[in-house]
Amino acid sequence: MQKHLTRFFRSIALPAIGLAVVALIHWLLPRGNDTIAYLNQAVQVGYILLGLSLAFRLFCTVALDILLARATGRQVPKILKHLIGVAVVVLGVLLSVNVVFSGAFTGLIALSSIVAVVIGLALRPIILDIFSGLSANLDAAFHIGDWIEINGRSGAGSYTGWVEEINWRTTHLKTRSGNLVICPNSTISTAIITNCSRPTPLSRYDISVKLPPEIEPDRTRRILTAAVEATMGMENGPTSAKSPEVLISELDASGVEYRIRFWLDPAKNSCDLAIDKVLRSALRHLQLAGIPLAENVILHRDSRTILDSADVSARAEVLGRTALFSGVLPAPLEQLAQNTSLHSFVRGDTLIRQGGEDNDMFLLFEGAVDVLITVDDKEVAVARMQAGDYFGEMSLLTGEPRTATIRAATAGAAYRISRDAVSPVLESNVALMDLLSHNLAERNLGRQAAAAASQDQNPEQKRESLAAVLLAKMLGIFRM
């Protein structure tokens, strides 16, 4: 309330003081003296101009800035005030001229009408832009800061960006590429405008993936949903405010088309980057699950082998794709896969707890998990792992304590490898332990690349040194 009163008194102070001064001069002028007729005319002109100025400011402050703004919930556009101001100025000039040249008002109206028609014809495009801008403001189709898409008719092209300014003639858009697009208001008045910021800031995006018809639909939906959820909440990823959907949109002899739907605030995140993240995650999940993309044209279809998590050879193939077991021969992998169990989880499940004494290792093949570290009794998320990542290998192979908590960010599944499962494979196999120790060292060095670069040793020496330390720990656990 105090803010409105301050604005009110500031707006009327100057014309009110001017009117008071004019009234004082009028009161001091002697009556009936023809020699001061010009002063009387000046006083009348002062009354007209200052009175109209006071009325204009009262109208703008009370009717527009307070009453109308409170009723509509937004500020009144400046262009409306400017147009009213122009009308007041024209009226003030006409009335002032009528005072100076008594009786000339009718002629002035006629002359001004003719001049207005001539000027209107000459400045038709500009006037059209002005009134189109006023219409856009009054319709409230978009506000400053909204993310909009302007689709011009008759092949005029389309423009997308943030609304930065709406002035007399043009509307300014700032594109994501950093350019400034200046659109004439007359063009906007005939264009189709999509306001992505209203009624809610979230927009839905659809992408399609076509897969072979042999894949069980429920499994496919679970994998693709986990792939999207793994990217939710990440930078330039889909929003976590709405759940994604996976629907079957089409099917034929070549395959089944699945439509992945997710939500995004396009004003904050690039839809192109979000689609890239979702497709990358979907491809990663499908590759790990052994599901190929469908072929659009099929002349002859060979029987396809789809990886099944219940099959030992399929589990061995998945294990062989990980960096930890890179270079391991098929026989040890199949022996390890026989004792590898499938562990399903839902969002919020804790797979590993920091400081825990368990030593199982997990290999994700569906979903995503968050890596959290406890600092001052508070859990802080430091990383997110997705399908294809593994964790817990240091506790499994070297006996080191759990250094972080692993919690499911989405529903999913992982292969669980216990100490009892790996012991028969590693015992009496020093060569295999040496290979795994080098793979472990490679991964640890990748995590500490910046620190390793500052050391005197080169990366290869550092890797050999770390691998020797890890091998010694493994030999202490898996005795020959």
- pLDDT tens-digit series, residues 146-201: 888 888 665 567 888 888 887 767 788 898 888 888 887 777 777 778 888 888 88
The answer to whether residue 93 scores a pLDDT higher than 50 is yes
Question: Does residue 128 lie in a domain region?
Answer: no
Residue of 303, 280, 277, 285 lying closest to 414 (CA atoms): 285
Which tokens sit at 254?
A: 């070549």
Please tell me the predicted confidence (pLDDT) of residue 48: 75
The arithmetic mean of pLDDT across residues 454-478, rounded, is 63
Question: Does residue 306 lie in a domain region?
Answer: no
Percent share of the chain, pLDDT over 90: 12
Confidence label for 407 from pLDDT (cuts 50, 70 and 90)? very high
The answer to whether residue 3 scores a pLDDT higher than 80 is no
The arithmetic mean of pLDDT across residues 448-470, rounded, is 58
The whole domain housing 268 covers 203-289
Please tell me the predicted confidence (pLDDT) of residue 281: 92
Q: Is 176 helix (H, G, I), strand (E, B) or coil?
A: coil
Is residue 79 domain-shared with residue 217, that is, in the same domain? no
- pLDDT tens-digit series, residues 224-237: 998 999 898 888 88
Residue 192 phi/psi, 5° resolution?
A: -95, 120
Residue after which a domain boundary falls, among 258, 289, 320: 289
C-alpha span between 304 and 312 (Å, rounded)? 17
Sign of the torsion formed by the C-alpha atoms of 256, 260, 261 and 265: negative
Omega of the bond prior to 199 within 30 degrees of 0, cis? yes
Please tell me the predicted confidence (pLDDT) of residue 104: 55
Residue of 153, 62, 48, 157 lying closest to 105 (CA atoms): 48
Question: Does residue 425 lie in a domain region?
Answer: yes
- pLDDT tens-digit series, residues 414-423: 889 988 888 8
342 touches 309 (CB < 8 A): yes
Please tell me the predicted confidence (pLDDT) of residue 273: 92
Residue 75 phi/psi, 5° resolution?
A: -70, 145
Q: How many residues does the chain have?
A: 480
Is residue 366 domain-shared with residue 285, that is, in the same domain? no
Which region among 13-17, 165-169, 281-285 has the lowest average model confidence (pLDDT)? Answer: 165-169
Is residue 470 domain-shared with residue 350, that is, in the same domain? yes
Is residue 190 domain-shared with residue 324, that is, in the same domain? no
Question: Does residue 295 lie in a domain region?
Answer: no
Question: Does residue 301 lie in a domain region?
Answer: no
CA-to-CA dists, residue 396 to 236, 349, 362, 408, 423, angstroms: 35, 20, 10, 20, 10
Average pLDDT, the chain: 77
The answer to whether residue 71 scores a pLDDT higher than 50 is yes
- CA 443 from chain centre, in angstroms, equals 32
C-alpha span between 296 and 306 (Å, rounded)? 19
Is residue 317 domain-shared with residue 434, that is, in the same domain? yes
Confidence label for 291 from pLDDT (cuts 50, 70 and 90)? confident
Strands 170-174 and 180-184: antiparallel
Percent share of the chain, pLDDT over 70: 70
Q: Is 363 exposed, middle or buried (0-12, 13-18, 19+ CB in 10 A)?
A: buried
Confidence label for 296 from pLDDT (cuts 50, 70 and 90)? low
CATH number of the domain to which 164 belongs:
2.30.30.60
Q: Is 131 exposed, middle or buried (0-12, 13-18, 19+ CB in 10 A)?
A: middle
Please tell me the predicted confidence (pLDDT) of residue 367: 86
Does residue 57 or residue 80 have the better pLDDT?
Answer: 57
Question: Does residue 299 lie in a domain region?
Answer: no
Is residue 229 domain-shared with residue 344, that is, in the same domain? no
Domain total of the chain:
4
C-alpha span between 347 and 352 (Å, rounded)? 14
Is residue 472 domain-shared with residue 400, that is, in the same domain? yes
Is residue 269 domain-shared with residue 336, that is, in the same domain? no
Is residue 165 domain-shared with residue 213, that is, in the same domain? no
Confidence label for 208 from pLDDT (cuts 50, 70 and 90)? very high
Is residue 79 domain-shared with residue 228, that is, in the same domain? no
Is residue 325 domain-shared with residue 462, that is, in the same domain? yes
- CA 354 from chain centre, in angstroms, equals 33
Does residue 477 or residue 150 have the better pLDDT?
Answer: 150
Q: Which spans in 68-204 are helix H?
A: 69-72, 78-100, 105-122, 124-139, 185-190
Residue after which a domain boundary falls, among 92, 122, 152: 122
Which region among 49-53, 99-103, 234-238, 361-365 has the lowest average model confidence (pLDDT)? Answer: 99-103
Please tell me the predicted confidence (pLDDT) of residue 55: 80
Confidence label for 123 from pLDDT (cuts 50, 70 and 90)? very low
CATH number of the domain to which 219 belongs:
3.30.70.100
Question: Does residue 83 lie in a domain region?
Answer: yes
Residue after which a domain boundary falls, among 195, 229, 257: 195
Confidence label for 322 from pLDDT (cuts 50, 70 and 90)? confident
Is residue 73 domain-shared with residue 176, that is, in the same domain? no
Question: Does residue 134 lie in a domain region?
Answer: no
